[in-house]
Structure 1
Amino acid sequence: MSLMSNQLWRKFLVWIHCFIFLSAIKPLFGSQERHFKWEVEYMFWAPDCIERPVLAINGQFPAPTIRARPGDTMVIELTNKLQTDGVAIHWHGMRQHGTPWADGASSVTQCPIQPGETFVYRFKVDKPGTFAYHGHYGLQRTDGLYGFLIVDVAEGEKEPFHYDGEFNLLLTDWWHRPAYEQQIMLSVKPFRWVGEPQTLLINGRGQYNCTLAPGYANSNSSYPPCNFKGHEQCAPTILNVLPNKTYRIRVFSTTGLGSENLMIANHTMTVVEADGNYVEPFTVDNLGVNTGESYSVLITTDQNPKENYWVSVGVIQRAFIIPAGLTILNYLPNSAWKRPTSQPPRHPKWNDFEYHKNFTKSIFALKGTPKPPRKAHRRIVLLNTENYVDGYTKWAVNNVSLVPPGTPYLGAIKYGIKHAFDQRPPPENFPSDYDIMKPAPNQNGTFGNGVYVLDFNTTVDLILQNANTVDPNVSGSHPWHLHGNDFWVLGYGEGKFSEKEVKKFNLKNPPLRNTAMVFSYGWTALRFVADNPGVWAFHCHLEHHLLMGMAVVLSVGVDRLPELPPEGLACGLTAKLLMRRNHA
């Protein structure tokens, strides 16, 4: 071989090696397809040292944490290994642009996945933040079907804050009574209350029959001390830290009924993110977290390095008389089982509503966050009510308790199957003489499954109005979650919403959220742009209230969608449509 040929051959080999190398590292710098193959099934587990059936994914409880970057395509093959129940998983906070059928809301965007069947969720991640996924069929979230979905910033980009390490805290309330029994209790007449949860779990672990903090009044001090070796299913997940570092703690609440409050003894927390959106940093001693909300907080480990410190979770907004959930912030090289020498921190009283309101009102969008349109094209006022319907106790909106149809809304609307659900539009307001401070003179409501049809690309205000329940002097708080969209929280108020409140809306720096609280006897004003084609659930994120009908459905530009994947339509009238097409 000539010298020239030899040189050309070497250049060719170098080029080939460079091509192979660049092909191998390309996924590290660009968007990826991230594949997961999951099986959902029950297993026996003891999250709080008491064994009961829990829902697990691939044998894990809580379900696996998954991570992605903006632009990535998530492909999750979900197989239902349950014996008799359907299943669906909602990707909480994912906006599902172009893929509303992957939202995971049973009866809204898809049929429940039947036992033995597999459904493929395929969607793109569009922004960084702290998100989660959870069951969206019946009360399956209450049985433990949930996990974190963390979206890191794109390769080469930076967060607007610095940290040296990171932890995830998944908070929930836990019943020993399984979800199917609770569902029956809530669905019969006369209504049977499910009772208080027994335990608060941190990352799927809590202690019911022993205590990590013996002798302290705000722990379950009547029980003996826990003597864990570390491998027990209910042993706490210790948070190991180095002194003089900054840590990001990502928090998501998947509680069924309660709102929770997070405290770290001797440490303050700086809030920097809410529901996947950056906020103006502010510092707190304790963090109020409603179900369906996520936060990122920064802590600095600048305390006495010879000590460990309590991480404590308590209940707010409801009168649950249960001990705080506890784990330990372990300053290395201290032993992970070195108990703190001080008592666990004391949380705000459960009924300190002013504290919780003030915290919520302290959240403002980080400078540079998109601002809302100045005016809305449409306003829908949603009165949160408790009603009796045909002898059943139900939660409702404008006295209508939602009963999802047997055919998913998305397929029915896309293919014009008008008799699949009630075509009459739901009420957009409530009578002006309605007294929200007292039980309604007529406490009877109705069942319904109508849809609010929104014109594409219009600006819509959703006004959440709270009111008295069927019992005197009772008005519970409700955290509302919107699928497929973020909204701006324009304001909160006391009493009945009126037109004069519009002038007080915050149009300068309202936070972008996907979940917002409406407080007792008050109102919350939300604004969003209906520019994401699909059918979207908007509902109270208290699991039991959703089951009992506290939800509405919004339809946006469904005619703009392409053909829907048939896998999510194999039930109800869309199943018959598919059969006719297959035989045509």
Structure 2
Amino acid sequence: MHVLSFIIHSLITIIPAASAFSLPFKHTRDSSCVNSASNRACWTDGFDISTNYYEKVPDTGVVREYWFNVENTTAAPDGVEMPVQLINGSFPGPTIIADWGDTVVIHVTNSLQNNGTGLHFHGIRQNFTNQMDGVPSITQCPIAPGESYTYRWRAAWDGVFGGIIINGPATANYDIDLGHVFLNDWYHQTADQLVLEAATGGPPTAPNGLINGTNTWGDKGTFVSMIDDHNLEVIANDFVPIHPFNTTQLSIGMGQRYDVIVTAKELTSENFWLRAIPQEACSETDLTSKVKGIIRYDNSSTVDPTTSAYEYTDFCADEESFDLIPYLQVNASDTYAYGEKEEVEVQVTDNAMLWLMNKTSFDTQWEYPTLMQVADNNQTWLARQRVIHLPEANRWVYFVIHSPFAQDHPMHLHGHDFWVLDSGYGNFDLSMKCELTLVNAPRRDVLMLPASGYVVIAMKTVNPGAWLMHCHIAWHTSEGFAIQLLERESEIRLNDEVLNSTCKGWQNYAVEDDVVQHDSGV
């Protein structure tokens, strides 16, 4: 019998994923603290599961280096061929693997025929490395076709993006780490076509969903994930270690990640369905029983499973907050220096639909990203750039985000974990402040904004940079559903040479090919 560990990650768009390659682990662990199947809470001398990873990170001296080539081609993950963008010619693409405290270096070459690009490392907080966040029009200009960009950051132990695995201590023991299980909806149209369809005909419906980049073809929203006849022990959300809890099913919103331990059965010839069930409450889909994988204990078996799904309630909310209790207790403050209330709206214009926050649709420039404006000391911020200034260090910031629309939204914040103080249906007002969860509230970087409801989140100004907060539905961000936080502007560390070189390359390409920006810039 083995106790297996894997990460479940729900995606809205295609992201490089599961073909792994890594370098050998060379640094020495203290003999009194060895991370092993019998003691996963341990790590290295002075670092274990109780370490405050917001304040203390090991420096292993190890560099993990990768070369990624982004290119256009066609692929048929579910049997329907369509244009796709691949990394190193594969789908899913290569996985970045590192230990907590390693330095990660990724060289990205843009071999796309007619598109700029950038590589964002979803879930990596980029502590004091804002310029490595990889967000065109915010932290860099797009990488022009034929150009390259090198990202360099420390492997902080709290996040994954597609194929990123950061090894670190855990709150429960396991024998074998199986890597990722990726769940994502899948469209038979390009992203540009989907944006146009969303603008003219409402939210498009995904015809299929994939598990680890494959399925057969015969929406957006939340998946319920389960393995028939197996229990799931959940030990982390968005790679914040939590006190373990057991369940038969897990509600996973777009961009969210969970670390899960499964106890394997004794060797058996029986096969079991692994199910990713799109929730009809927030997805117009007929795929509720069609997004499946197979768990086999005997590789000689080729028959389909006959197992049955667990009963579940169709809903789109996050897992209950009382289950997502962080192992490292960090309380939110009941006093704060800044407070913002963001109202979500939609504006329909000529042949377009724009998402607005506080009556403004986010719009910034590919050729003049926020960090270049910071480098130029240009303070003429435009209203449509939606800049919230947070100049002081170590101050608590509260956000109340409200949406009157009968649609859930996965909200993601770059550069930080946030504290989830409250969420619910209807409106939130200050008279409800006494009801906020301030003591060891759930922490994560993606949460579901309830349909016709609100969320209250808190963050602390501990990481200088220009950080994006946005809906993780791709075309909603493209249509302006975003804001940016300009945090401790005077302390932002910049490499002007890299910034200027990338922008010069992009500007030359944009002029030569007459590139016109039609969306929000991200």
Choose the corresponding residue for 1:568, options 499, 502, 506.
499
Q: Using a 3 Å threshold, how does the CA distance of structure 1 residues 63 and 100 change in structure 2: closer, same or farther?
A: same
Given that residues 492 and 524 in structure 1 are in contact (C-alpha distance below 8 angstroms), is that contact kept between their aligned partners in structure 2? Answer: yes
State the match for 2:149 in structure 1.
119
Looking at structure 2, the residues matched to 198 and 493 of structure 1 have their Cα atoms a distance apart, in angstroms, of: 30
Deviation, structure 1 residue 303: 7.1
State the match for 1:110 in structure 2.
140
Looking at structure 1, the residues matched to 349 and 396 of structure 2 have their Cα atoms a distance apart, in angstroms, of: 33
Given that residues 260 and 288 in structure 1 are in contact (C-alpha distance below 8 angstroms), is that contact kept between their aligned partners in structure 2? Answer: yes
Deviation, structure 1 residue 259: 1.7
1:321 corresponds to 2:283: no
Aligned residue for 2:230, secondary structure, equals: coil
In structure 2, give the amino acid aligned to 1:160: T
Deviation, structure 1 residue 122: 0.9
Structure 1-normalised TM-score? 0.72
Given that residues 413 and 467 in structure 2 are in contact (C-alpha distance below 8 angstroms), is that contact kept between their aligned partners in structure 1? Answer: yes
Looking at structure 1, the residues matched to 461 and 255 of structure 2 have their Cα atoms a distance apart, in angstroms, of: 21
Looking at structure 2, the residues matched to 559 and 180 of structure 1 have their Cα atoms a distance apart, in angstroms, of: 37
Query: Aligned residues, how many?
Result: 448
State the match for 2:375 in structure 1.
414
Deviation, structure 1 residue 363: 3.3
Looking at structure 1, the residues matched to 260 and 301 of structure 2 have their Cα atoms a distance apart, in angstroms, of: 22
Looking at structure 2, the residues matched to 524 and 477 of structure 1 have their Cα atoms a distance apart, in angstroms, of: 11
Aligned residue for 2:326, secondary structure, equals: coil
Aligned residue for 1:112, secondary structure, equals: coil
Deviation, structure 1 residue 414: 3.1
Aligned residue for 1:204, secondary structure, equals: coil
Deviation, structure 1 residue 574: 11
State the match for 1:264 in structure 2.
227
Choose the corresponding residue for 1:461, options 394, 398, 420.
398
State the match for 1:450 in structure 2.
386
Cα deviation digits, residues 385-420 of structure 1 (max 9, x gap) = 22224663111111211112241011202321234x
State the match for 2:170 in structure 1.
159
In structure 1, give the amino acid aligned to 2:212: N
Given that residues 257 and 544 in structure 1 are in contact (C-alpha distance below 8 angstroms), is that contact kept between their aligned partners in structure 2? Answer: no
Looking at structure 2, the residues matched to 303 and 294 of structure 1 have their Cα atoms a distance apart, in angstroms, of: 28
Aligned residue for 2:476, secondary structure, equals: helix
In structure 2, give the amino acid aligned to 1:202: I
Q: Residues 359-398 of structure 1: matches in 2 within 5 Å? A: 359-389=319-349, 392-398=352-358
Looking at structure 2, the residues matched to 547 and 360 of structure 1 have their Cα atoms a distance apart, in angstroms, of: 30
1:500 corresponds to 2:431: yes
Looking at structure 2, the residues matched to 179 and 35 of structure 1 have their Cα atoms a distance apart, in angstroms, of: 30
In structure 2, give the amino acid aligned to 1:335: S
Deviation, structure 1 residue 324: 2.8
In structure 2, give the amino acid aligned to 1:290: G
Deviation, structure 1 residue 476: 0.5
Choose the corresponding residue for 1:91, options 100, 121, 132.
121
Gap runs ≥5 in structure 1:
1-23, 133-146, 210-255, 425-447, 469-474, 577-584
Deviation, structure 1 residue 40: 0.4
Gap runs ≥5 in structure 2:
1-23, 30-59, 508-522
Choose the corresponding residue for 2:188, options 176, 182, 185.
176
Aligned residue for 1:92, secondary structure, equals: coil
State the match for 2:510 in structure 1.
none
Deviation, structure 1 residue 509: 2.0
Cα deviation digits, residues 237-270 of structure 1 (max 9, x gap) = xxxxxxxxxxxxxxxxxxx732211111111212
Aligned residue for 2:138, secondary structure, equals: coil
Looking at structure 1, the residues matched to 144 and 504 of structure 2 have their Cα atoms a distance apart, in angstroms, of: 16
Given that residues 273 and 292 in structure 2 are in contact (C-alpha distance below 8 angstroms), is that contact kept between their aligned partners in structure 1? Answer: yes
Deviation, structure 1 residue 115: 0.2
Cα deviation digits, residues 544-567 of structure 1 (max 9, x gap) = 111111000100112113443433
Looking at structure 2, the residues matched to 73 and 535 of structure 1 have their Cα atoms a distance apart, in angstroms, of: 22
Aligned residue for 2:120, secondary structure, equals: strand
Cα deviation digits, residues 51-90 of structure 1 (max 9, x gap) = 1222111111111111111221111110000111001111
State the match for 1:511 in structure 2.
442
Q: Using a 3 Å threshold, how does the CA distance of structure 1 residues 361 and 89 change in structure 2: closer, same or farther?
A: same
In structure 2, give the amino acid aligned to 1:120: T
In structure 1, give the amino acid aligned to 2:356: A
1:547 corresponds to 2:478: yes
Q: Using a 3 Å threshold, how does the CA distance of structure 1 residues 165 and 336 change in structure 2: closer, same or farther?
A: farther
In structure 2, give the amino acid aligned to 1:287: L
1:291 corresponds to 2:321: no
Looking at structure 1, the residues matched to 121 and 410 of structure 2 have their Cα atoms a distance apart, in angstroms, of: 17
Mean CA deviation greater in 340-349 or 27-36: 340-349
* Identity, % of aligned positions: 27
Q: Using a 3 Å threshold, how does the CA distance of structure 1 residues 79 and 295 change in structure 2: closer, same or farther?
A: same
Looking at structure 2, the residues matched to 28 and 95 of structure 1 have their Cα atoms a distance apart, in angstroms, of: 26
Q: Using a 3 Å threshold, how does the CA distance of structure 1 residues 546 and 304 change in structure 2: closer, same or farther?
A: same
Cα deviation digits, residues 430-482 of structure 1 (max 9, x gap) = xxxxxxxxxxxxxxxxxx223100122211001111213xxxxxx11111100
Looking at structure 2, the residues matched to 573 and 79 of structure 1 have their Cα atoms a distance apart, in angstroms, of: 16
Given that residues 263 and 347 in structure 1 are in contact (C-alpha distance below 8 angstroms), is that contact kept between their aligned partners in structure 2? Answer: no
Given that residues 266 and 303 in structure 1 are in contact (C-alpha distance below 8 angstroms), is that contact kept between their aligned partners in structure 2? Answer: no
State the match for 1:208 in structure 2.
217
State the match for 2:415 in structure 1.
484
State the match for 2:160 in structure 1.
131
Given that residues 130 and 296 in structure 1 are in contact (C-alpha distance below 8 angstroms), is that contact kept between their aligned partners in structure 2? Answer: no
Given that residues 272 and 296 in structure 1 are in contact (C-alpha distance below 8 angstroms), is that contact kept between their aligned partners in structure 2? Answer: yes
Given that residues 237 and 324 in structure 2 are in contact (C-alpha distance below 8 angstroms), is that contact kept between their aligned partners in structure 1? Answer: no
Given that residues 39 and 58 in structure 1 are in contact (C-alpha distance below 8 angstroms), is that contact kept between their aligned partners in structure 2? Answer: yes
Looking at structure 1, the residues matched to 301 and 122 of structure 2 have their Cα atoms a distance apart, in angstroms, of: 33
In structure 1, give the amino acid aligned to 2:339: R
State the match for 2:15 in structure 1.
none
Looking at structure 2, the residues matched to 460 and 574 of structure 1 have their Cα atoms a distance apart, in angstroms, of: 37
Structure 2-normalised TM-score? 0.81
Choose the corresponding residue for 1:341, options 286, 303, 306.
306
In structure 1, give the amino acid aligned to 2:187: W
State the match for 1:46 in structure 2.
76
Looking at structure 2, the residues matched to 25 and 330 of structure 1 have their Cα atoms a distance apart, in angstroms, of: 30
Given that residues 491 and 525 in structure 1 are in contact (C-alpha distance below 8 angstroms), is that contact kept between their aligned partners in structure 2? Answer: yes
Which of the pair has the greater relative contact order for Cα pairs under 8 Å at 6+ separation? 2
Given that residues 412 and 470 in structure 2 are in contact (C-alpha distance below 8 angstroms), is that contact kept between their aligned partners in structure 1? Answer: yes
